Amino acid sequence: VTTRLLRVDESPSAITDAAQVLRSGGLVAFPTETVYGLGADAFNERAVGSLFEAKGRPMDNPLIVHIADFFQAVELAADVPPLARELAAYFWPGPLTLVLSHNGKIPPVVTAGLPTVAVRMPDHKVALDLIRECGGGIVGPSANTSGKPSPTRAEHVLDDLNGKIDIILDAGPTKKGIESTIVDVTVDPPVILRLGSLPQSVIEDHIGKILLTEDDSFLRRAPGTRYRHYSPRAEVVLLNEADAATLETLIESELAAGKRVGCLLHSLEHAEGKNLRVIRLNGIEAISRMLYDAFRRLDEWQSNIIIVESTDDPELGPTVMDRLRRAAGYSGVPSPTAK
Ligand code: TXA
Ligand code: MG
The predicted structure's pLDDT at residue 222? 65
The predicted structure's pLDDT at residue 93? 98
Q: Using the predicted structure, report yes or no on whether residue 129 has a pLDDT greater than 90.
A: yes
When pLDDT is cut at 50, 70 and 90, the band that residue 145 belongs to is very high
- Quick check: 130 and 67 in contact, CB under 8 A? no
Ligand 1 mutation pick, 32, 52, 64, max ligand atoms within 8 A of CB: 64
User: How many CB atoms sit inside 10 A of residue 66's CB?
Assistant: 27
Give the pLDDT confidence of 231-263 residue by residue, as tens digits.
899 999 999 888 899 999 999 999 999 999 999
Give the pLDDT confidence of 273-306 residue by residue, as tens digits.
999 999 999 999 999 999 999 999 999 999 999 9
The predicted structure's pLDDT at residue 334? 44
Peptide bond into 95 cis (omega under 30): no
- Residues whose beta carbon lies within 6 Å of some atom of ligand 1: 32, 34-35, 37, 61-64, 95, 97, 99, 111, 114, 116-118, 120, 122, 140-142, 179-180, 182, 193-194, 222-225
Per-residue b or e along 147-163, where b marks 16 or more CB atoms closer than 10 Å to that residue's CB:
ebbbbbbbebbbebbee
The predicted structure's pLDDT at residue 216? 47
- Quick check: 137 and 73 in contact, CB under 8 A? no
When pLDDT is cut at 50, 70 and 90, the band that residue 215 belongs to is low
The predicted structure's pLDDT at residue 329? 83
When pLDDT is cut at 50, 70 and 90, the band that residue 226 belongs to is low
When pLDDT is cut at 50, 70 and 90, the band that residue 220 belongs to is low
- Tell me the three-class secondary structure of the chain, residue by residue: CCCEEEECCCCCCHHHHHHHHHHCCCCEEECCCCCCEEEEECCCHHHHHHHHHHHCCCCCCCCEEECCCHHHHHHHECCCCHHHHHHHHHHCCCCEEEEEEECCCCCHHHHCCCCEEEEECCCCHHHHHHHHHHCCCEECCECCCCCCCCCCCHHHHHHHHCCCCCEEEECCCCCCCCCCEEEECCCCCCEEEECCCCCHHHHHHHHCCCEECCCCCHHHCCHHHHCCCCCCCCEEEEECCCCHHHHHHHHHHHHHCCCCEEEEECCCCCCCECCEEEEECCCHHHHHHHHHHHHHHHHHCCCCEEEEECCCCCCCHHHHHHHHHHHCCCCEECCHHHC
User: Taking residues 300-328, what's their average pLDDT?
Assistant: 96
Q: Using the predicted structure, report yes or no on whether residue 217 has a pLDDT greater than 60.
A: no
Share of the chain above pLDDT 70, in %: 92
Residue 295's alpha-carbon distances to 71, 262, 302, in angstroms, are 38, 9, 10
User: Taking residues 106-129, what's their average pLDDT?
Assistant: 98
The predicted structure's pLDDT at residue 241? 84
Least confident of 35-44, 167-176, 322-331: 322-331
Ligand 1 nearest-atom number relative to CA 150? 14
Q: Using the predicted structure, report yes or no on whether residue 331 has a pLDDT greater than 60.
A: no
User: Taking residues 4-19, what's their average pLDDT?
Assistant: 97
When pLDDT is cut at 50, 70 and 90, the band that residue 271 belongs to is very high
| Cα-to-centroid distance, 34 and ligand 1 (Å) | 12
What distance in Å separates the CA atoms of residue 113 and residue 10, rounded to the nearest whole number? 41
When pLDDT is cut at 50, 70 and 90, the band that residue 99 belongs to is very high
Q: Ion ligand 2 — residues with CB under 5 Å?
A: 142
Q: Using the predicted structure, report yes or no on whether residue 199 has a pLDDT greater than 70.
A: yes
The predicted structure's pLDDT at residue 230? 75
Q: Using the predicted structure, report yes or no on whether residue 53 has a pLDDT greater than 90.
A: yes
Ligand 1 mutation pick, 142, 213, 228, max ligand atoms within 8 A of CB: 142
